[in-house]
């Protein structure tokens, strides 16, 4: 299964979600394709002691070759950079699932409209899932996002990934939330996203 974490808006949590989600798949072959020139996951993976196989295809053809080689029981997570490009579009068109992290602010909703426009230009066969990410612990009302998502053939995941320091700290030291004790809610959130994608 090819899961592309995508949004043209920067800083919405694509790389963070991709990293922890990748480690949530137990007993499965998992690889990451890092399409961002910032190479976030490439570097985090080095810090982690190469816990995952992180690939960096440089052209659309190379990307498609990698994606075509993904076995049915293998998980390939593509971390798309926060910009629009041919290679990002190709990843979106060759995915089984697209995950769009988004928070509840008005700037996010506006940024989402831009990305929606791009998705409409593409031939997308994948299921498109929007996930609320980096959400303040007390925020309960997501009407603004629900309304934005409901106009599309997209699904807003039930799981809400809250703003939690552990998502940052573990990634910063090359670790991940499943490697640390406690933090059950953070683990439940990432497992919740994983299970809703299946």
- What residue ranges bind Mg ion (CB under 5 A)? 14-15, 40
168 binds ligand ATP (CB under 6 A): yes
Span near ligand ATP by CB under 6 A; candidates 5-13, 68-76, 92-100, 190-198: 5-13
Q: What share of the chain is helix, strand, coil (3-state, %, to 5)?
A: 40, 20, 40
Q: Which part of the chain contacts ligand ATP (CB under 6 A), choosing from 26-34, 35-43, 87-95, 143-151?
A: 35-43
Element (H, E) at 171: helix 165-172
Give the C-alpha distances (Å, rounded to integers) separating 78 from 18, 21, 35, 63: 8, 11, 7, 10
Q: Which residues pair with 162 in a beta bridge?
A: 135
Rank residues 113 and 168 by Cβ distance to ligand ATP and give the closer one: 168
Q: Let me know: does 10 contact 23? Beta carbons within 8 Å.
A: no
Angle at 4 between CA 104 and CA 45, to 5 degrees: 100
CB nearer ligand ATP, residue 66 or residue 79: 79
Residue of this chain nearest to ligand ATP (CB atom)? 82
Task: Choose between 51 and 103: whose C-beta lies nearer to ligand ATP.
Answer: 103
59 φ, ψ (degrees, to nearest 5) = -140, 165
Query: Of 65 and 83, which CB lies nearer to ligand ATP in the complex structure?
Result: 83
Residue of 48, 95, 134, 159 that binds ligand ATP (CB under 6 A): 134
- The SS3 assignment for 157 reads strand
CA 101/CA 107 separation, integer angstroms: 13
Among 3, 4, 14, 194, binds ligand ATP (CB under 6 A): 14
14-22 and 40-47 helices, crossing angle to 10°: 40
Is residue 57 near ligand ATP by the rule CB under 6 A?
A: no
With CB cut-offs between 5 and 8 Å by kind, which of Mg ion, ligand ATP, none does residue 8 bind?
none
User: Encoding tokens for residue 28?
Assistant: 């499965």
CB of 193 to ligand ATP, least distance (A): 11
Residue 90 CA to its chain's centroid (Å): 16
- Closest to Mg ion by CB, 172 vs 185, is 172
Which stretches of the chain bind ligand ATP, using CB under 6 A? 10-16, 36, 38, 40, 81-82, 133-134, 161, 163-164, 167-168
């Amino acid at each position: 299964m090819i899961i592309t974490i995508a949004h043209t808006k920067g800083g919405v949590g694509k790389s963070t979600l991709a990293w922890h989600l990748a480690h949530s798949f137990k007993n499965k072959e998992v690889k990451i394709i890092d399409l961002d020139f910032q190479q976030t996951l490439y570097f985090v993976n080095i810090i982690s002691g190469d816990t995952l196989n992180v690939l960096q295809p440089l052209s659309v053809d190379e990307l498609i070759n990698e994606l075509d080689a993904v076995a049915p029981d293998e998980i390939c997570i593509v971390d798309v950079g926060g910009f629009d490009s041919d290679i990002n579009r190709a990843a979106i068109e060759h995915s089984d699932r697209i995950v769009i992290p988004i928070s509840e602010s008005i700037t996010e909703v506006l940024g989402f409209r831009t990305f929606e426009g791009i998705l409409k230009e593409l031939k997308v066969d994948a299921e498109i899932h929007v996930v609320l990410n980096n959400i303040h612990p007390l925020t309960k009302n997501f009407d603004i996002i629900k309304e934005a998502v409901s106009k599309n053939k997209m699904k807003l995941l039930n799981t809400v990934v809250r703003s939690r320091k552990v998502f940052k700290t573990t990634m910063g030291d090359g670790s991940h939330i499943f490697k640390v004790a406690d933090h059950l809610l953070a683990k439940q959130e990432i497992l919740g996203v994983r299970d809703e994608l299946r």
